[in-house]
Homo-oligomer: A and B are copies of this chain.
Amino acid sequence: MSENKPLTKLSTLGEFGLIRHLTQDIKLKNSSSMKGVGDDAAVLDYKDKKVLVSTDMLIEGVHFDLAYAPLKHLGYKAVATNVSDICAMNGTAKQITVSLAISNRFSLEAVEELYEGIYLACDQYGVDLVGGDTTSSKTGMCISITVLGEADDEEITYRNTAKENNLICVSGDLGAAYMGLQLLEREKVVFQENQSSQPDFSGYEYILERQLKPEARQDIVRLLKEKGIKPTAMMDVSDGLSSEVLHICHDSGLGCKIYEDKLPIDYQTYKMAEELNMNATVCALSGGEDYELLFTAPLEDFEKLSAMEGISIIGHTCAKSEGYNLITKDGNSFELKAQGWVNFNPDNQQ
């Protein structure tokens, strides 16, 4: 946004004008996208593939804070987190629809920034924007994205199909997005107390990026296919590793052993946790918003998986009767507990 030009009020465009303005440059990338924006519904053609569909809603003040989430990043993240759900089914995202409610406190230029991020993510993941709805709200911003993807029947990975003595694996590293959020919140408080202060993020660029611009691990889905590994169950880590491990175990009727010393944690995550007097393992287990892929795989894939960069084998499944176990670095065993999503907790509400 140029700081010199006066900003454009949304009311000068009207709904149809705004939609046209935001969607006029769309070029459809996928052959399954027959007809995109501009009719009562989009028309898609999946031929002999199965269709995957997932949806997410993001609310200002609950899921994002515009004080530190730039609109372009927000748009990117909204798409990436949805694409992540299709990855978690071992599929390929193909289309999204975007519904947006915004109050008049936002200018056209602000909405354009948001869409810049949305389109950047669409390019990154090869996804077509094929529909949506744009409306006004009385107060905050609300974004709802639905993603559609495709997969062959036999390659789809569910949550309830893990087997006993499967390896439990996770891509990338954990807890960084949560530590990025802690850093942003700390600097926001500092800024509120002294408005002339400048936030100091040096040395923490990675955890900030993990919070503000997470990526869907489409590369991991492709890599596993290349290596001939078919996960027996898979989820993306949005609520926190513990919560997702328990989901898979519960739905598959299994127990698990997770080894603390195997958890992949970045140096910046450790450093920030130390600075804030927090336990890095707890952040990795319960932080959430990592959007890494958690999956189970047969024991015979051990060597292949061990040799893959960006994949950590963090434990294995076992009989349900053995329970949900976290084996700590000193060899003690604790019950693994979920502390994920707390948005309905009254303490979290205003």
Chain A residues within CB distance 8 Å of chain B: 9-11, 13-16, 18, 34-35, 38-48, 50-57, 59-63, 85-86, 88-89, 91, 95, 97, 99-101, 103-104, 130-133, 135-140, 142, 144, 146-149, 151, 153, 156, 158-159, 234-236, 251, 341-346, 348-350
Contacts and interface: CB of A to CB of B under 8 A. Distances in A.
Contact of A144 (B62, B140, B144, B158): B144
A142 B57 contact: yes
B57 A133 contact: yes
Given A135-B62, A136-B59, A95 B18 contact: no
A53 B34 contact: no
B97 A158 contact: no
Copies in the assembly, this chain: 2
B57 A52 contact: no
A135 B40 contact: no
Nearest to A103: B349
B41 A91 contact: yes
Interface centre among A42, A44, A60, A146 (most CB of B within 10 A): A146
Contacts of A61: 138
A180 to B, nearest CB: 21
A350 B138 contact: yes
Contacts of A15: 341, 343-344
Contacts of A97: 53-55, 146
B344 A11 contact: yes
A236 B50 contact: no
Contact of A138 (B9, B54, B59, B100): B59
A116 to B, nearest CB: 21
A41 B59 contact: no
7 contacts: A11-B346, A40-B54, A54-B131, A55-B133, A55-B144, A59-B136, A137-B142
Contacts of A235: 40
B43 A46 contact: no
Contacts of A63: 135
B158 A55 contact: no
Contacts of A131: 53-55
A279 to B, nearest CB: 23
B140 A139 contact: yes
Given A46-B46, A138-B62, A344-B136, A53 B148 contact: yes
A50 B51 CA distance: 11
Given A15-B343, A45-B51, A345-B11, A56 B133 contact: yes
